[in-house]
Amino acid sequence: MPDQTYPDTNTQWWHNSVVYQIYPRSFCDANGDGIGDLTGIIHKLDYLQKLGIDLIWLSPVYKSPMDDNGYDISDYQDIASEFGTLADMETLISEAAKRNIRILMDLVVNHTSDEHPWFIAARSSRDNPYRDYYIWRAPLADGSPPDDQRSFFGGSAWEWDPTTEAYYYHLFSKRQPDLNWENPAVQQEVHQMMNWWLDKGIGGFRMDVIDLIGKQVDQKIITNGPRLHPLLQDMHQASFGSRNVLTVGETWSATPEIAKLYSDPARKELSMIFQFEHITQTWDPVHGKWKPRPFDLVEFKRIIGKWQTELADCGWNSLFWNNHDLPRAVSKYGDPGKYRVASAKMLATALHCLKGTPYIYQGEEIGMTNVRFDSIDDYQDIESLNHYHERIAAGVPHEEMMEGIYANGRDNARTPMQWNHQANAGFTTGTPWLKLNPNYPQINAEAALADPDSIFYHYQQLIRLRKTSALLTYGDYQPLLEDHPQIFAYLRHLGEQRLLVVNSFSAQPIELNLPRELNTIKGKGIISNYTIRHDLENKTRLAPYESFAIEF
Ligand code: ISL
Ligand code: CA
């Protein structure tokens, strides 16, 4: 047998990269105004280098009125004053580069802010040259909106503009008007802007709700519209295609078949996408995220296994438990209480031993948890607030809605990063824009760095393994114990090398009954959250949330 270490076709630098997502507003405040900023990020680059990550996905820092915390952009080529200046951004790019870290910019081009000069011009008169940058429709005879389409943030997707007497279309807040991607001028503006950033030496783009840009509004085709893939191919060709960067699309509507359209290198679109099937399986089919369903590990394994298998030879997976829109992983899938440390490490191993590019969301590496504020007034997220008011008005009891927000509200991920046990967790010397999670005296980066057994060092170990193991990067995925309700186990194969990965999602000790041929393996343990295992005895008892990987 030839020693097949690396498959020789289509290897890319980002195949063994690990990405760390920063939500700038909540990361580190250097000037005491209560809002995280670019200088704060620069101060923490050594911390990130120590963790070992290769890229930072920076949630938006562009000029913005902050209706949706920066996902409403009023100037793509400038920085919001609360985050700093363009010079600070250039410093961040170069300081990160010194530490071998690249910056992924968040490309938010489904919509702009209503304060973007394009929109200000577009709404000034019907014959303004920018009119066609956005989507306008006449009212129905009785003055009502053209149709019943809804915004993801609640209410109609149509907003009346009294000056020009027409409705404009917005899939998010009414302060986020959708761009008209059928207009070639819009496409060119975006390509130019992307090139301007690429010339600054960024490492690529995370593309916000990119599956929406091919929409056909009148036919109510919103996701996966007919123009989507041609638009991405044009974008590839006109901007990043020649630059060897990483591009990742946020695509809630992707199936594995669709993911291959995006990420098959031969099609020249994106490096990879974020798929959300494993996320939405925990939502209610009717009420969505506000009525969470219990986590079902068997279903989760079926979904993840399907994605691993379907993209094995074509396309590429991205791997994540959480982001700035989602609850904290340890609260959702692990145990935020007694077994917080063990379960956070288990979740890390379970994800990082899969095939794909792992993404870590700020604070995940120290096991930050969800938050429960008593009053709705302590929440800041536009999605939670809009839906709260809409649903309360529709008769949903306050307590029921709060349970939805506690489980899935976006502010869970947005409470400030917990750096130390001092005032405001060392996040700010001022008044934080969003209250902290009160558990910061126990859960913080300083404590994690001081403890060689911490979640932080577990992540560091996993990142190092990915750098050195072709098996982790390229090995095939084979599921084990598919119907087991509490164990997520799988094999990775590359040539003669094999890796067994076992993860218990149980707070009780449980028996591990692997297929007979695996029961007696001997090899080399590469990671564990208890004592390292190099082999398996015939019957193995797993400790609560135990997780390990053995190469053999
Ligand atoms: O989680 C969600 C689905 O119900 C939404 O909160 C979210 O809007 C959706 O995930 C799309 O997210 C992206 O685009 C939004 C922005 O608010 C999110 O922060 C961003 O990640 C609009 O730009
Ligand atoms: Ca600040």
CB 394 within 8 A of CB 386: no
Long-range contacts of 425-429 (CB under 8 A, 24+ apart): 427/26, 427/28, 427/29, 427/36, 428/29, 428/32, 428/33, 428/34, 428/35, 428/36, 429/29, 429/32
Q: 491-532 pLDDT, tens per residue?
A: 999 999 999 999 999 999 999 999 999 998 999 999 999 999
Handedness of CA 453, 457, 459, 465 (dihedral sign): negative
3-class SS of residue 15: helix
Tell whether ligand 1 has an atom less than 6 A from the beta carbon of residue 118: no
Tell whether ligand 1 has an atom less than 6 A from the beta carbon of residue 172: yes
Q: 258-310 pLDDT, tens per residue?
A: 999 999 999 999 999 999 999 999 999 998 999 989 999 999 999 999 999 99
Going by alpha carbons, the residue nearest to atom 11 of ligand 1 is: 209
- pLDDT at position 540, please? 86
User: Which of 22, 64, 67, 209 has most ligand 1 atoms within 8 Å of CB, for mutation?
Assistant: 209
Which ligand 1 atom is at minimum distance from the Cα of 172? 22
Q: Is the pLDDT of residue 2 over 50?
A: no
Q: Is the pLDDT of residue 413 over 70?
A: yes
- The domains of the chain, with CATH numbers, are 13-110+180-459 (3.20.20.80), 117-169 (3.90.400.10), 476-551 (2.60.40.1180)
Name the average pLDDT for the chain.
Answer: 96
What mean pLDDT do residues 448-470 have? Answer: 97
Q: 109-166 pLDDT, tens per residue?
A: 999 999 999 999 999 999 999 999 999 999 999 999 999 999 999 999 999 999 999 9
What mean pLDDT do residues 343-365 have? Answer: 99
Cα of 32 to ligand 2 centre, how many Å?
6
Q: Is 36 exposed, middle or buried (0-12, 13-18, 19+ CB in 10 A)?
A: buried
Cα of 456 to ligand 2 centre, how many Å?
25
SS3 content of the chain, % helix, strand, coil (to 5): 35, 20, 45
Q: List CB contacts of 227: < 8 A, sequence separation 6 or more.
A: 181, 182, 213, 214, 216
Handedness of CA 448, 333, 319, 55 (dihedral sign): negative
Indicate the pTM of the whole model.
Answer: 0.97
Which residues fall inside 5 Å of ion ligand 2, going by CB?
Answer: 29, 31, 33, 35, 37
Tell whether ligand 1 has an atom less than 6 A from the beta carbon of residue 108: yes
Q: Which ligand has the minimum distance to the alpha carbon of residue 25?
A: 2
Active site residues: 208, 250
Which ligand 1 atom is at minimum distance from the Cα of 252? 10
- Beta-carbon-side half-sphere exposure of residue 234 (alpha carbons within 13 Å): 18
CB 202 within 8 A of CB 102: yes
Tell whether ligand 1 has an atom less than 6 A from the beta carbon of residue 67: no
Whole-angstrom distance, CA of residue 300 vs CA of residue 11: 28
